[in-house]
Amino acid sequence: MILYGFPLSPFVRKVLIAIKEKGIEARMVPSNPNQPDEAFLRASPFRKIPAIEDGDFRLADSTAIVAYLDAKFPEPALIPAEPEARGRAVWFEEVVDTILIPAGAPIVVNRFLKPVIFKTEGDEEAARAGEEAILKPLDYLESVLSTGGWLAGDYSVGDLSLASSAKTLGYAGWTIDADRHPSLANWYARVCDRPAWQLAAEQEAAVFASLGG
Ligand SMILES: N[C@@H](CCC(=O)N[C@@H](CS)C(=O)NCC(=O)O)C(=O)O
């Protein structure tokens, strides 16, 4: 399997971790949405990362890809079968992908992408507004997470999505505030201990270092 993308993206990491959790053989082909090559465009018609190619099957969008992977490689399940748990796992994935990530984007753009990658000045006011904006979804997620548990019962795509966004925010110097969000801080430490996350973190550290980070 080929995964098109860039590992520091939260959406790409979500798929990469799903691949590692399931032990799927895959290689990442670095892909830049602003300079798409033909193979990447065939898999991702709207130039978004991630996308995959599995034989002659191509698919873009992290949510669609994880749904495909979970159906084709069922163990370990990342989308629960039980109806309520299934709905909640996808709900938490969407809370992160459509509310938390857009709210936190100014933090990543202005404290990481601009200064570290593009060597331009970030807008600190916009970054601070992002820090404020992510408190609402984080307060909500803290309120639904039981101590020692996962978001939707068993470890699922909801956890994958949230932890992946926390990891990307980490490149901008952001960390979970354990005083305000103690269950989330404990949960994130448990996610990062998982072998799939440690494997991905090693690969990512090499990419980060190659960027001069
Ligand atoms: N809903 C998509 C979002 C993917 C996405 O927005 N990826 C960003 C990188 S983090 C991207 O490709 N941006 C380039 C662009 O929008 O042109 C998913 O879950 O995969």
pLDDT for 58-95, tens place per residue?
Answer: 999 999 999 999 999 999 999 999 999 999 999 999 99
Mutation to probe ligand 1, out of 11, 52, 165 (largest number of atoms < 8 A from CB): 11
pLDDT for residue 213: 62
Q: Cβ distance 108 to 78 under 8 Å?
A: no
In this predicted structure, the answer to whether residue 142 has a pLDDT above a threshold of 90 is yes
pLDDT for residue 44: 98
pLDDT for residue 109: 98
In this predicted structure, the answer to whether residue 207 has a pLDDT above a threshold of 90 is no
Q: What are phi and psi of 3, to 5 degrees?
A: -115, 115
In this predicted structure, the answer to whether residue 201 has a pLDDT above a threshold of 70 is yes
Gap from CA of 61 to ligand 1 centroid (Å)? 8
**Going by DSSP bridges, is the β-strand pair 51-54/57-60 parallel, antiparallel, or unpaired?**
antiparallel
* Nearest alpha carbon, ligand 1 atom 2: 61
Mutation to probe ligand 1, out of 32, 47, 48, 90 (largest number of atoms < 8 A from CB): 48
Residue 180 DSSP code: T
* Residue where the block lists tokens 């430490």: 189
CB atoms within 10 A of CB 174: 19
Burial of 49 (0-12, 13-18, 19+ CB in 10 A): buried
Could you tell me the maximum CA-CA distance found in the chain, to the nearest angstrom?
49
Q: Is the peptide bond before 76 cis (omega within 30 degrees of 0)?
A: yes
Considering the chain, what percentage of its residues have pLDDT values greater than 90?
Answer: 92
Residue 153 DSSP code: B
Structural Rg of the chain based on CA atoms:
17
Q: What is the average per-residue pLDDT within 10-28?
A: 97
Gap from CA of 101 to ligand 1 centroid (Å)? 11
Gap from CA of 10 to ligand 1 centroid (Å)? 9
Gap from CA of 63 to ligand 1 centroid (Å)? 11
Residues in the chain: 213
Q: Is 120 helix (H, G, I), strand (E, B) or coil?
A: coil
* Residue spans in the chain of domains classed CATH 3.40.30.10: 2-72
pLDDT bin (cut points 50, 70, 90) of residue 37 is very high
Which CATH number, 3.40.50.300, 1.20.1050.10, 3.40.50.1370, 3.40.50.720, labels domain 83-194?
1.20.1050.10
In this predicted structure, the answer to whether residue 199 has a pLDDT above a threshold of 80 is yes
Strands of the sheet containing 27-30, edge to edge, are 27-30, 2-5, 51-54, 57-60
Instruction: Look up the pTM and report it.
Output: 0.96
Q: What is the average per-residue pLDDT within 47-63?
A: 98
* Nearest alpha carbon, ligand 1 atom 10: 9
Residue 109 tokens read as 């753009």
pLDDT for residue 15: 98
Q: What is the average per-residue pLDDT within 183-212?
A: 91
User: How many CA atoms, within 13 angstroms, populate the side-chain half-sphere of residue 16?
Assistant: 28
* Residue spans in the chain of domains classed CATH 1.20.1050.10: 83-194
Pocket lining for ligand 1, CB < 6 angstroms: 9, 11, 33, 47-50, 61-63, 97
Atom of ligand 1 nearest to the CA of 65: 20
Arithmetic mean of pLDDT over the chain: 96
Gap from CA of 208 to ligand 1 centroid (Å)? 19
Gap from CA of 11 to ligand 1 centroid (Å)? 7
Rounded to whole angstroms, what are the CA distances from 111 to 37, 64, 129, 130, 172? 29, 30, 12, 11, 5
In this predicted structure, the answer to whether residue 131 has a pLDDT above a threshold of 80 is yes
Gap from CA of 148 to ligand 1 centroid (Å)? 31
Which CATH number, 3.90.1170.50, 3.40.50.720, 3.40.30.10, 3.30.930.10, labels domain 2-72?
3.40.30.10
* Nearest alpha carbon, ligand 1 atom 6: 48
Q: Is 173 helix (H, G, I), strand (E, B) or coil?
A: coil
In this predicted structure, the answer to whether residue 208 has a pLDDT above a threshold of 90 is no
